[in-house]
Amino acid sequence: MARDKLDDIDQRILSDLQADGRMTNVDLARRAGISAPPCLRRVRALERDGFIRGYHADLDAKSLGFDVTVFAMVGLDSQAENDLVAFEERCADWPMVRECHMLAGEVDFLLKIVARDWDAYQSFLTGSLTAAPNVAHVKSSLAIRASKVQPGVPLEAD
């Protein structure tokens, strides 16, 4: 990243885009209190510097037939860096694994897994996850409902 400090205008741009990534540059500029050309330059700089990683549609899993969300806590036999990286690379190849977080503590990784149904998850669990090299144990927790899903970071709290 080319810069460490963001000014108030950059913060506003990031906050507005995080809330609505489809906002037009004209609307974004108006909300930030600047004209459209410098606003677009700032957005491009924020993208180039890695503050904005991409733009995504927020899909409704249930509407698309994905009724099961599981948080799997995975322990590995070895925590050597090459084994950790190998597991992360394997997770990147599994479409059902939507998030993979390496943790400090009792478990090595927390995975968010989205599946069409419980049978699809169990098939993935037994056929892929527990069968993967270096996996010592997996503890699964089925999500009953989500009362808050807010991607991004709490810019408003700064």
- Distance separating alpha carbons of residues 26 and 23, to the nearest angstrom: 8
pLDDT of 158 strictly over 80: no
> Could you state, in order of their start, the residue ranges of all structural domains in the chain?
8-48, 62-142
pLDDT in tens, 62-108: 999 999 999 999 999 999 999 999 999 999 999 999 999 999 999 99
Residue range 8-48, CATH number = 1.10.10.10
The span from the first CA to the last CA of the chain, in angstroms, equals 20
3-state DSSP helix/strand/coil % of the chain, to nearest 5: 40, 20, 40
Q: Check residue 156 and give its pLDDT.
A: 75
Architecture of domain 62-142: 2-Layer Sandwich (3.30)
Spatial neighbors of 6 by CB under 8 A, at least 6 apart, are: 14, 51
